[in-house]
Chain A
Amino acid sequence: MTHHINRPHLVVIGNGMAGCRAVEELLARDPNRYRVTIFGAEPHVNYNRIMLSPVLAGEKTFDEIVINPRDWYDGNGIELVPGDSVTGIDRAAQTVTAASGRTVRYDKLLIATGSDPFIIPVPGKDLPGVISFRDMKDVDAMLEAADKGGDAVVIGGGLLGLEAAHGLTLRGMKVTVLHLMPTLMERQLDEAAGWLLKSELESRGQTILTGADTAEILGTDHVEGVKLKDGRVIPASLVVMAVGIRPSTALAREAGLAVGRGIHVDDHMITSDPDVLAVGECVEHDGNVYGLVAPLWEMCRALADGLVEAPTGYRGSVTSTKLKVSGIDLFSAGDFSGGDGAEDIVLRDASRGIYKRVVVKDDRIVGAVLYGDTADGSWYFDLLKKQEDISDLRDLLIFGQAFAQGGGQADPKAAVAALSDDAEICGCNGVSKGEVVACIAKGAASLDAVRTGCKASASCGSCTGLVETLLAVTLGDAVQSGPKTMCKCTSFGHDDVRREIVVQGMRSIPEVMQKLHWSTPDGCSSCRPALNYYLLCALPGDYQDDQQSRFVNERMHANIQKDGTYSVVPRMWGGITSPRELRAIADVVEKYDAPMVKVTGGQRLDIFGIRKEDLPAVWADLNAAGMVSGHAYGKALRTVKTCVGSEWCRFGTQDSTGLGVKLERGFWGSWMPHKFKMAVSGCPRNCAEATIKDFGVVCVDSGYELHVGGNGGIHVRATDLLVKVATEDEAMHYAAAFVQLYREEARYLERTAPWIERVGLQYLKDRIVEDEVARDTLAARFWYSQTFSQDDPWAERVAGDAREQHAHMAAFTPIRTEELA
């Protein structure tokens, strides 16, 4: 290689994708310009690091992912120094020194050290069996562990972690993925796509724990398990940390180069020293660092242009991501997170497992997330990168390139009108266009009528838009709008949503939104609280509560008042209190300077004017006196009002106070479609006003009259008599059945009065009085549900659960102008 000796010497630190690509680009421009030496820490030739996942999964061999074999180095006169990492740069002498002691002089130095895996600093992180997923050595370690079988834990549910989990699963290990954030791949995917991905991975046998915060890695000589901060322990003979990477900058920093998050470079990839360049994941350009491969290529082009003095400059990159897990199609590009003026176009097709979301701003695509069908990913990415005006395509954009550009059909109505009569409209029920049109011709003038008439759109609902268009095409203005939908986010009504939740056993809000084709990313203030309630009612103990989908009163466990302070109502069972409780309440009023205490219409004491940040302390004081939350803030059982009954009253026929206490003890904590009040009156004089309550008992000599559907609200309604029973136990049993029927069938925010007027009293009698089996089943479901709900929310919050919701995040004290002068 003597003929190279007089050329300037380019020394490259890093034999990875960026370092070698930069050299390739350079050679393509001028193969005779530099003498090149490449130092590599790994004992390999240049390979494609992003293909390590398929190697782990057994879909590729190492030889298949080599980019530049030995011949390439030799043929281009490049000296490769493998397995020897550079340990120091002397910029004054213009030399680098490697671990072996070897020192070489450079004219131009290129740093391409890439990035290091981020190891979370927990006890046990250095145990044998804890590895990262970064190079071929890690893959070998995983393959070796997989040969022995057993349990593996992957910490990190990002791209790399999921690919590692996939590979280990295919290699026969039982894999648990721990992810700190609530959804997988939260940087690339929105919640809906993250949920689909989680479901798919779970169906492949992986256990995915989100919101899982690692506390410690357990083991003595070798890793044995992972302990989470909530105390759960997951056994593991292999732990893969894939929580992230950070630019490898130690060498550059020690050499005195300007380093921020990465090594600072300008548009020509030059560092703060004009003879030192840097490229790849180790650099920071214009405030950005990149962990994906496409930007590397763009950087290398700019760098090579600079080296041959034809500078073009690097201007930053727009990136896209695909998950390399076989059978899962997932694409994400640009900024899908919206922002000012951004609009979402969402398509959900649950039966095919497809979710697409394109974010448009000022008639240009700024981001896209595709799950299940990524065929159009490159088309969207291209429109995004070129910043093309899509206003002409907008109506059809979400259907993809073929549809949006095919045949110039810009009008979706025309497209539907042009369909042949035997074109299938509803895949679930096999209904053709001809059958839908025939159904409409026979008089079905609304979506609901079509659903009843020919079953189209009656199952998964993904063809709802098509059916609506057919209605519009066939009938023009004569279309009747269907029953009221839950809100603008869905075409389904409350009852449809409830039915689907039960039938499909759905457990979380994102799941419902996906399967029922919600048109917004995360719903609105009307549908979210309703969905949360429907889920808790359908699957008590098994659904995922979403605090952020509850109205503020239920989130704060107190009543918000007009000035932003809260009022607090402790429970007084059946309206009875004691000196101890009264003293505790009086103390709270004084201690927290509550401006008012008021006896409520339901015989409880309401303490007003408590500040949000004082709520936990107030509850702690009340808890200490044995009092629990009165749920006066919730769509829940509030009070059971009583009179004194046979114990003191000369007219009282039964122990109304005792029954009131019993009802409140049994029913407290149960969430309802709306607020729910009970009362027990000891005689027909009705001092507890039981006949304007949701459930009222009027005691008579021969037993108990059970009344339902009373309301003292805007439209005062007296109760209807449901049935008369002889014993307290029967009264309790009927109450449970009634409450459960209301919980299961009324729409969210529908009180008992309008519900009963809607379904009719006879319907209630048929279900609860005439049908003993239905009565028993309803009551059993109610008591089962109560086993999950009778925890005092105040005590939980005082114990620290989400306590920070009450505190300020920070405080700001402005510096006064005189101090600045």
Chain B
Amino acid sequence: MIGEWLDIGWLQEIPVRGSRTVPVEGGEEIAVFRTGDDKVFALVNRCPHKGGPLSAGLVHGHSVACPLHNWNIALATGQAKGEDKGCTPVIPAKISGGRVLICRASTLKAAA
């Protein structure tokens, strides 16, 4: 039986207002973010604009600024904010007992 959630490590392993990556074999990398208020979010590590690695962006509030051209992406929805239009696939993520979990099915789907 395969669990619904994939355990990827301790929350403390992600810097506050930072991000870490999870590569998916045969698919796209996933960026896992920790916000200033200790929430976690996961997105496919690709800006909808020109594919910039969002994991390298500056996390502020519940948004991340793409490191290439400073598009702001809402972490909860993957939607570009402001005048920009575009969306990055979201992978449900949560914290349980200090561990970071991401949704296995969404990971497979987003990475396919």
| Residue ranges of A at the interface with B (Cβ–Cβ < 8 Å) | 182, 186, 190-191, 261, 336-342, 520-525, 528-529, 547-549, 551-553, 555-556, 560, 562-564, 612, 802, 804-805, 807-815, 820
Residues of B within 8 A of A191 (CB): 36
Closest B residue to A192 using CB positions: B36
What residues of chain A lie closer than 8 Å to B107, measured between beta carbons? 812, 814
Give every chain B residue within 8 A of A525 (Cβ-Cβ).
57-58, 60, 65, 70, 72
Q: Is B14 an interface residue (CB 8 A)?
A: yes
The 7 sampled A-B contact pairs (Cβ below 8 Å) are A337-B37, A341-B76, A548-B17, A560-B53, A812-B24, A814-B25, A814-B108
Q: Quick one: CB contact mask for B39-71 with A, threshold 8 Å, 1 for yes? A: 100000000001111001111111101011010
Assuming the contacts A812-B6, A814-B26, asked whether A549 and B58 have C-beta atoms less than 8 A apart, the reply is yes
B111 in contact with A814 (CB, 8 Å): yes
B15 contacts across to A, CB distance below 8 A: 547-548, 802, 805
Which residues on the A side are within 8 Å of B38 (C-beta)? Answer: 186, 337
B58 touches A808 (CB 8 A): no
Residues of A within 8 A of B24 (CB): 811-814
Q: Are B22 and A810 in contact (CB under 8 A)?
A: yes
Q: Is the interface of B mostly helix, strand, loop or mixed?
A: loop
Q: Which of A186, A548, A814 contacts B59 (CB 8 A)?
A: A548
- A336, A522, A555, A811: the one contacting B60 at CB < 8 Å is A522
Tell me, rounded to whole Å, the shortest Cβ–Cβ distance linking B40 to chain A. 11
Across-interface contacts of B14 in A (CB, < 8 A):
809
Going nearest first, the 6 A-B pairs with the smallest beta carbon separation are: A525-B65, A809-B20, A337-B37, A810-B8, A548-B17, A552-B56
Interface string of B56-93 (1 = CB under 8 A from A): 11111111010110101000110000000000000000
Q: How far is the CA of A340 from the CA of B26 in the complex (A)?
A: 30
Residues of A within 8 A of B26 (CB): 814
Question: Taking A186-B38, A336-B37, A339-B39 as contacts, is the C-beta distance between A811 and B58 under 8 angstroms?
Answer: no
Number of A-B contacts (CB under 8 A): 124
In Å, the complex CA distance between A562 and B68 comes to 7
Q: How many residues of B contact A (CB 8 A)?
A: 49
A814 touches B36 (CB 8 A): no
Besides A809-B9, A809-B100, 14 other A-B contacts (C-beta < 8 A): A182-B16, A186-B38, A337-B37, A339-B76, A548-B18, A552-B56, A807-B20, A808-B20, A808-B21, A810-B8, A812-B22, A812-B24, A813-B24, A814-B107
Q: Which residues of A contact B58 (CB under 8 A)?
A: 525, 528-529, 548-549, 551-552
Contact A811 B76 (CB under 8 A): no
B2 / chain A contacts, CB cutoff of 8 Å: 815, 820
Report yes or no: A808 in contact with B52, Cβ–Cβ below 8 A: no
1/0 contact string of B1-15 vs chain A (CB within 8 Å): 010001011000111
Q: Looking at the assembled complex, report how far the CB atom of B72 sits from the nearest CB atom of chain A, in whole angstroms.
A: 7
CA A508 – CA B99 in complex, angstroms? Answer: 30
Q: Verify B36–A522 contact, CB threshold 8 A.
A: yes
Expressed in whole angstroms, the Cα–Cα distance for A813 and B39 within the complex equals 25
> Which residues of B are interface residues toward A (Cβ below 8 A)?
2, 6, 8-9, 13-18, 20-27, 30, 32, 35-39, 50-53, 56-63, 65, 67-68, 70, 72, 76-77, 97, 100, 107-108, 111
Chain B residues whose CB sits within 8 angstroms of the CB of A521 once the complex forms: 36-37, 61
Contacts of A548 in B (CB 8 A): 15-18, 58-59
Whole-angstrom distance between the alpha carbons of A525 and B64 in the complex? 8
In Å, the complex CA distance between A552 and B65 comes to 10
User: A811 and B16: CB pair below 8 A?
Assistant: no
| In-complex Cβ contact of B25 among A182, A556, A807, A813 (8 A) | A813
Q: A residues within 8 A CB of B53?
A: 560, 564
| Cβ distance A136 to chain B, nearest Cβ, rounded Å | 32
In whole Å, how far is A401's beta carbon from the nearest beta carbon of chain B?
Answer: 26
In this complex, what residue of A is CB-closest to B37? A337
- Chain A residues positioned under 8 Å from B68 (CB to CB): 560, 562
Q: Quick one: closest A residue to B46, CB to CB?
A: A564
Once bound together, how far apart are the Cα atoms of A338 and B59, in whole Å? 15
Contact B25 A810 (CB under 8 A): no
**Residue in B closest to A339 when the chains form the complex, CB atoms:** B39
> Nearest CB to that of A510 among chain B residues?
B36
The chain B residue with its CB closest to the CB of A811 is B23
CA A330 to CA B52, docked complex, whole Å: 42
List, in ascending order, chain B residues with CB within 8 A of A807's CB.
20
Contacts of B22 in A (CB 8 A): 808-812
The answer to whether A523 touches B60, judged by C-beta atoms less than 8 angstroms apart, is: yes
B62 to chain A, nearest CB (A): 6
- Complex contact A805–B61 (CB within 8 A): no
Neighbour of A564 across the interface among B35, B56, B72, CB < 8 A: B56
A565 CB to nearest B CB, Å: 9
CB neighbours of B17 from chain A (8 A): 522, 548-549
* In contact, A809 and B21 (Cβ under 8 angstroms): yes
Bound: A521/B38 CA distance, A: 13
Closest residue to B77 on the A side, CB-wise? Answer: A340
Q: How far is the CA of A520 from the CA of B60 in the complex (A)?
A: 9
- Measured CB to CB, the closest approach of chain A to B66, in angstroms, equals 9
Tell me the complex Cα distance, A261–B77, Å. Answer: 32
Write the chain B residue with the least CB distance to A182: B16
Given the known inter-chain contacts A547-B15, A562-B68, please indicate yes or no for A814 contacting B27, CB distance below 8 A.
yes
How many angstroms from the CA of A179 to the CA of B62 in the assembled complex? 25
A191 and chain B: residue at smallest CB distance: B36
List of B residues within 8 angstroms of A814 by Cβ = 24-27, 107-108, 111
- Smallest CB-CB separation from A565: which chain B residue? B53
